[in-house]
Structure 1
């Protein structure tokens, strides 16, 4: 049976779903993830992408009020944790954002995170696709008129105490950010909930067509 694992190599990822008990969402780890498919994580109709859907009324983690259907990087089955002060750490993905909540149309589609907070986020707000960093104090635009469903190529490179982001092959930002305990995330992190006025079934949705992470010493 074909499923998400036929498109993406999921051996070094775990999946957090918008289901489960409040504060303790369901997680799917390898090897179970390699054959998993469901309402919030499934192959698209054309069989060339994986659809991540997170409804505004979904279960959230204890540290967030927003739901997610999102992959978190692993390293040999353990939680990945690295520093961009040494080595080169790169995530490349091809994805499309296909759906936004109606009232607060905001979605995060890729991240670098650390043990406590996000380091850098790729966000869509209405039609503004941009990178937010430094706890929202810094940002730069990837596309100021993004149209839902348009695939794009993203490359995030963290090295030498900096993070560079390229969009469709063009470097859009190169910022001084350094830290440790970092890891990559990709999928749908819907930035709304019913308290923001959205219906419980209003959702963010991202389709990932290709995903690759490399680390070099």
Structure 2
């Protein structure tokens, strides 16, 4: 071989190797902030698909479901790897968004994957969120989702709760301690719970008592979590509260269970009690309704109570034939024991992040302001006067399902539920049928 060409060939080969190794070095694995799904089977939640643990998985409970994951920052997406659970064959599409899910671009259309690792190449493009959508005859199950990036970029906008172009998120630190959510170990590390207690749909009595739901107050609440009903999401920037149709309840007069925060005062051990008629108070929430029961898909997600009355409730109502995970329902603010109703959102889709601000002003007046961070829907109830106030008032937040099973998780008959005389398709047959909400920020003022 000619020496001159031999040297040239060698030089080209070396340069190719250097360039190749440089491109590999540029590739990085995208980190996620959170994940949500339109359908979840039992405890196989969406966060399992991004927790970097192949021993856990997300599993849909219906065909055609989707999972959405948001990035910590805007990235130049290069390719993605799906680790499927089991050996089933899945048909799916992939969408990317550079505005936190407000709009989507399909980058992989109706392709197939089967078990283990399934890699898909994607044209280099800016994104801060990804959606995997199952075909109508595919019930997705994902062990782990991994996305490779060529680096961060400024090509995104943030229309949700996070500044995804910089990776800075709002409402993900403990306002009382300033602790980063990335270091969080318990819900109180993400939410300021110093003025709250939690009620959970389980009984810690021995033997369990169906009418004795568990209460956790301060100082125990500061380090408390429950792996099923009150826990951090995988990204450690939000708190998941879950209630079940057959859960333990708060009294013999109540049909429904809850995972709900109740406002406290002082050192967190004394129940809050403020004058609804002569004080300015407020509560601000950033949260997402993730799942509902199917037979009676209703849930209360924010409240003002006095000693006797439901003075204000923000309530979700799902469609008649709900699947609990992809439904489009409505959100209402209901005042004075349901005598006044104000529509907040007529097309709320489960999984939509929202903000709710409840302002109480002197004279017993309340205004609820709402925003859907996906659709952009905004609304305000205007000033509504509270009537028939008895005693003092307090806020509540979390999930209080309005569905029940006649037999609870302890095998006891829920007589209040049975005596409601609902139609047969309004009772949940599974006592573990659930509703769940993710709370990312809660502020009292």
Q: TM-score, normalised by structure 2?
A: 0.47
Following TM superposition, by how much is the alpha carbon of 1:171 offset from its aligned partner in structure 2, in angstroms? 2.3
Q: What secondary structure does 2:202 align onto?
A: strand
CA-to-aligned-CA distance 1:48-98 (integer Å, 9 cap, x gap)? 110000010101111421000000000112100111222210000111111
Q: Which residue of 2 aligns with 1:130?
A: 332
Give the structure with the larger helix fraction: 2
**Distance across 2 between alignment mates of 1:64 and 1:133:** 20
Is 1:184 equivalent to 2:395 in the alignment? yes
**Distance across 1 between alignment mates of 2:245 and 2:400:** 10
Question: Structure 2 stretches of 5 or more lacking a match?
Answer: 1-183, 204-208, 319-328, 372-377, 407-425
**Distance across 1 between alignment mates of 2:307 and 2:350:** 31
Q: Which residue of 2 aligns with 1:163?
A: 366
**Distance across 1 between alignment mates of 2:236 and 2:344:** 27
Q: Which residue of 2 aligns with 1:98?
A: 290
Instruction: Return the match for 2:427 from 190, 197, 200.
Output: 197
Following TM superposition, by how much is the alpha carbon of 1:192 offset from its aligned partner in structure 2, in angstroms? 0.4
Q: What secondary structure does 2:222 align onto?
A: helix
**Distance across 2 between alignment mates of 1:81 and 1:23:** 24
The correspondence of residues 10-49 of structure 1 with structure 2, limited to 5 A, is: 10-20=193-203, 21-38=209-226, 39-49=228-238
Q: What secondary structure does 2:382 align onto?
A: strand
Q: What secondary structure does 1:115 align onto?
A: coil
Question: Structure 1 stretches of 5 or more lacking a match?
Answer: none
Is 1:72 equivalent to 2:262 in the alignment? yes
Q: Segments of 4+ in structure 1 off by > 6 A? A: none
Q: Which residue of 1 aligns with 2:241?
A: 52
Give yes or no for contact 2:242–2:399 (8 Å, CA) kept in 1.
yes
**Distance across 2 between alignment mates of 1:88 and 1:80:** 14
Q: Choose 108-117 or 162-171, whichever is displaced more.
A: 162-171
Q: TM-score, normalised by structure 1?
A: 0.94
**Distance across 1 between alignment mates of 2:238 and 2:385:** 33
**Distance across 1 between alignment mates of 2:351 and 2:186:** 21
CA-to-aligned-CA distance 1:88-140 (integer Å, 9 cap, x gap)? 10000111111000100001101001112321111000111111112111111
CA-to-aligned-CA distance 1:159-202 (integer Å, 9 cap, x gap)? 12211100026423320115341100000101100134212111
Q: What secondary structure does 1:101 align onto?
A: coil
**Distance across 1 between alignment mates of 2:211 and 2:308:** 16
Determine which structure has greater relative contact order: mean sequence separation of CA pairs < 8 Å that are 6+ residues apart, divided by chain length: 1
Number of residue pairs matched? 214
**Distance across 2 between alignment mates of 1:176 and 1:5:** 33
**Distance across 1 between alignment mates of 2:337 and 2:382:** 16
Give the structure with the larger strand fraction: 1
Is 1:209 equivalent to 2:435 in the alignment? no
Is 1:6 equivalent to 2:189 in the alignment? yes
Q: What is the RMSD computed on CA atoms of the aligned residues?
A: 1.3
Following TM superposition, by how much is the alpha carbon of 1:23 offset from its aligned partner in structure 2, in angstroms? 2.0
**Distance across 2 between alignment mates of 1:84 and 1:28:** 26
**Distance across 1 between alignment mates of 2:344 and 2:280:** 22
**Distance across 1 between alignment mates of 2:340 and 2:294:** 26
Is 1:81 equivalent to 2:284 in the alignment? no
CA separation of 1:84 and 1:159: change in aligned 2, threshold 3 A: farther
